[in-house]
Each structure stands twice: as C-alpha cells, then as structure tokens.
Amino acid sequence: MTSWGLIVKNLFRRKLRTFLTVFAIFIAFLIFGVLSAFQKTLTEPPQGPSATRLVVTNKVNFTQPLPISYVERVKAVKNAGIVSHMSWFGGYYQEPRNFVVSFGVDPETYVAIYSELALSDAEKQAFIKDRTGMLVGKKLADMYGWKVGDTVPLKSSIFRQKDGSDAWDFKVSGIFTNTEEENGDQYVVFHYDYFNESRSFGRDAIGQIVVQTRDPAQNDATAREIDEMFVNSGAETETRTEAAFAASFAAQLGDIGFIVTAVVGAAFVTILLIAGNTMMLTVRERTGEIAVLKTIGFTARRIFAMILTESFILALLGGLLGVGFAYVALGLLGGMGGGFLGAVKLTPSILITAFILMALLGFLTGFLPAWRAMRTDIITAFARK
C-alpha cells in the first residue's frame, strides 16, 4: 500500500464513472487534435501572391464563371500588358482522394506571366505546342512518379467529355518548381482549349482573368476601369491584386479557423463541466472517508494534493489517449488522401497546446473539489452520519 496506490484505488473504485469521464476528455482532445491540425494547414498562407498582378473574377463569387469573351475586352484596357486566364478543373488522379489542383490555362500567356516558375525554354515550347501538354509541379510529379513525356489521365469531379468519359489524357511537357514560394509547385496546368472543346457543358466559360499591368502604380485605376467596363453586363466583375485576392481567400479560411476554435472551445467547456461535476460528486460521496483520513492524521494539504492528483490523472489519461488517437487518425487519413491531407499533421505547437490544456483541465476540475475536501470538518462530517 502506497500513497500513490491509495489515489489510484480511489480513482478506479467507480470504474464506469471514471471510464465515462476519461472517455469524454478523450473525445475533447481527439476533436482538438484533428481540428487543430486541419486549421493549421488551412490557414497557412496560400501561394506567394503577387502584389502587382491583377485578378478579375466574377463579382458574385470567385467560383462563378466569366465569359471567355471578357479576355479580349480586358486586353483592350490601356494599362493591360499580358492578359491570361485560368479555369478550375477539379481534377483527381485515378481516385477522388488523389485530389490534384488543376487549371485549364492559355499556355502562351500563362508561361509569360508566371515567370517565377522555373522551366526551361524547351519545356515551355513543348507545352505551348502540344495541345494535350501539361505542366506539373515538382512535388506532385514526385508524389505520383510522373516524368516528362508520360501520358497522365486526369479525371474531373465537375466536368464530363462529350462522349461521357470523365477522364482527359494529358502529356507531361515539363516539370516546374516555384522560385518564389516553397509550396507553390503542387498543381498542374494544361491547355484550356483542349479541355474546353471536349467538355459537355460550361463551354466558353472561364474562372478568372490574370492581368500583368504595364504600370503597377496605376493598378487601382486599372482595376476600377475593368470593373466599370462590365457593370450591368451578364457577369459583373471584381478586380483585385493577386495579393488581395489571396487575402480574401485566406479570410474565408480564417472563418473556418474561428469555427474550429468555437467547436473546440465548446467541447472543452462541456468537458470541464462534466469532469468538474464528477470530481465534485466523488468528493461529496467520500466526505465521511475524508473525515476518517483527517482523524487518522492526514493533513489538509495532503488531502488537497490527493484529490488534485486524481483530477490530473483523469485529464492526462483522457488527453493522451485523445491526442494519440488524433495522431493515428491523421496518419491513416494522410496515407489515404495523399497530397493535401498528407500535410495535415500534429505539429509540436499543437502538442504543447494540448499539454497545457490537459494541465489546465486537471487543475480547473480538481481545484474546487480538492479545496472542499481539504476543508472537510471532521466533527460535522461525522455528525451528519
């Protein structure tokens, strides 16, 4: 028999109750681990955006299309230098979980505008010349083992070919890295025309127009000029710098971050109440026993420490199990999902936060009951029996 043994025996005398409490804490930390990992990945800043390039999107929402005829009209704007466009393909490789960020683009203008992509001239020319050509970011090429010259069938989760097939064959013309941004090489681009002609619906619509201006100092005026051009037309536009566009995109994800924080917060408040209430109940039930321990000579401090230790063990047990399961679950998810989900991990900062939360939970749920136990008055405790 040891002091430690006494604490453990007390903890497990009501096995079901202890199990349920630990389980509740476990769920809270599982939610915390998984959601924090996602939040971390999602709210990381997207591609190194340019402060000088302008992006023209549908005013309603950037997922709404624009007519391709707009491209020519934007080219007519005085400050417009190179004008290109991009359309979301919603591609995946072999299976939907192998999600591939993919765009149909105008090849010549695309390679001209995105000068930060490291490509040889030969690769650029090959891409422009081959109607089925595709440029692949190095990370993706490495992940799927694609080489220059390979034919890669990509399926779209949105579009169909006219013959009903959902797969397009692309030939890898070049593999690029992004010289400006570390993770800016996890997507592919191919010929918009090739994709546009063969798709069964949504023809001649594009996602966004990208404008390299001649004088970036005039960008604000140019953006206004473009938007005014399309006022009262079928699709009004919103023109921003690429950086501003990325920031608004991140802001939407930031809302997700807030939701995650709210969910985790609610889970913890609930757990705090459940575990705190259980500890309070436990101590109240044991009032008589605590009085006996005090009579025998256990000091108030020792009793306080005993109860607080119990609540710490509960929090640690549930917390470690929850974080451990989150780790395993994210590993399995990453193994299945490839690219994007593979990046969702428990970072050291998440683990540190988890430990702080465990300690906080242990303290908050144990303090009041421990205080109560410590203050138990022997005489009144016995008189109550």
Partner 1 sequence: MSDELVKVARAGKAYTRGKQKVSIFEGLDMRIEKGAFLAIMGPSGSGKTTLLNMLGGVDRPTSGEILFQGKRVDNLSESALAAFRAGHVGFIFQFYNLMPMLTAQQNVELPLLLTRLSKKQRRDRAAAALEIVGLSDRAKHKPAELSGGQQQRVAIARAIVSDPELILADEPTGDLDRETANEVLTVLQELNRLHGKTIVMVTHDAEAARYAKKTLHLDKGVFVEKGLNS
Tell me which of partner 1, ligand ATP, none is bound by residue 76, counting a contact when its beta carbon lies within the kind-specific cut-off of 5 to 8 angstroms: none
- Binding of partner 1 by 385 (CB under 8 A): yes
Q: Between residues 141 and 279, which has the closer beta carbon with respect to partner 1?
A: 279
Nearest to 25 by CA among 316, 266, 356: 316
Question: Site for partner 1 (CB under 8 A): how many residues?
Answer: 24
Q: How many other CB atoms are found less than 10 A from the CB of residue 328?
A: 11
Query: What does the alpha-carbon distance between residue 58 and residue 227 come to, in Å, rounded to a whole number?
Result: 10
The one of ligand ATP, partner 1, none whose footprint includes residue 231, by CB under 5 to 8 A per kind, is none
- Dmax (CA) for the chain in angstroms is 96
* 33 closest CA partner among 368, 344, 371: 344
148 close to 174: Cβ distance less than 8 angstroms: yes
Beta bridge mates, 175: 136
Residue 240: name its binding partner from partner 1, ligand ATP, none (Cβ under 5 to 8 Å by kind): none
Q: Kindly state the smallest distance separating residue 378's Cβ from ligand ATP, in Å.
A: 11
> Which residues does residue 102 pair with via DSSP β-bridges, in sequence order?
188
Q: How many CB atoms lie within 10 A of CB 212?
A: 19
Stretch that binds partner 1, among 18-26, 50-58, 164-172, 296-304 (CB under 8 A): 296-304
Indicate which single residue of 252, 288, 349, 355 sits in contact with partner 1 (rule: CB under 8 A): 288
> From ligand ATP, partner 1, none, which one binds at residue 293 (CB under 5 to 8 Å depending on kind)?
partner 1
In the complex, minimum distance from the CB of residue 7 to partner 1, in angstroms, rounded to a whole number:
11
Choose among partner 1, ligand ATP, none what residue 385 binds, the Cβ cut-off being 5 to 8 Å by kind: partner 1
Residues 352-381 contacting ligand ATP, CB under 6 A: 379
**From the list ligand ATP, partner 1, none, partner contacted by residue 328 (C-beta under 5 to 8 A by kind):** none
The helices-and-strands tally (H runs, E runs) of the chain is: 14, 13
The nearest distance, CB 287 to partner 1, in angstroms, is: 12
**Angstrom distance (rounded) from CA 38 to CA 341:** 9
Which pair of structure tokens corresponds to residue 78? Answer: 């005085």
**Alpha helix positions (H), 230-299:** 242-285, 287-296
Contact status: 293 vs partner 1 (CB under 8 A):
yes
Least spacing, CB of residue 379 vs ligand ATP, in Å? 6
Query: CB of 326 within 8 A of CB of 34?
Result: yes
Q: In this chain, which of 115, 165, 252, 299 binds partner 1, going by CB under 8 A?
A: 299
Task: Tell me the closest approach of the beta carbon of residue 377 to ligand ATP, in angstroms.
Answer: 9
Using an 8 Å Cβ cutoff, are 50 and 271 in contact?
no
Q: Does 120 bind partner 1 (CB under 8 A)?
A: no
DSSP secondary structure code for residue 59 in this structure: S
Residue from 274, 300, 316, 317 touching partner 1 (CB under 8 A): that is: 300
Site for partner 1 in 3-42 (CB under 8 A): 3, 5-6, 9-10, 13
Cβ 328 to ligand ATP, closest distance in Å?
56
Q: Taking CB under 8 A as the rule, does residue 368 contact partner 1?
A: no
Sequence-ordered strand ranges (E) for the chain: 54-58, 66-67, 80-88, 91-92, 99-105, 117-118, 133-137, 151-156, 167-178, 187-191, 205-206, 208-213, 237-241
Tell me if 296 contacts partner 1 by CB under 8 A: yes
Question: Which residues are near partner 1 by CB under 8 A?
Answer: 1-3, 5-6, 9-10, 13, 288-289, 292-301, 378-379, 382, 385
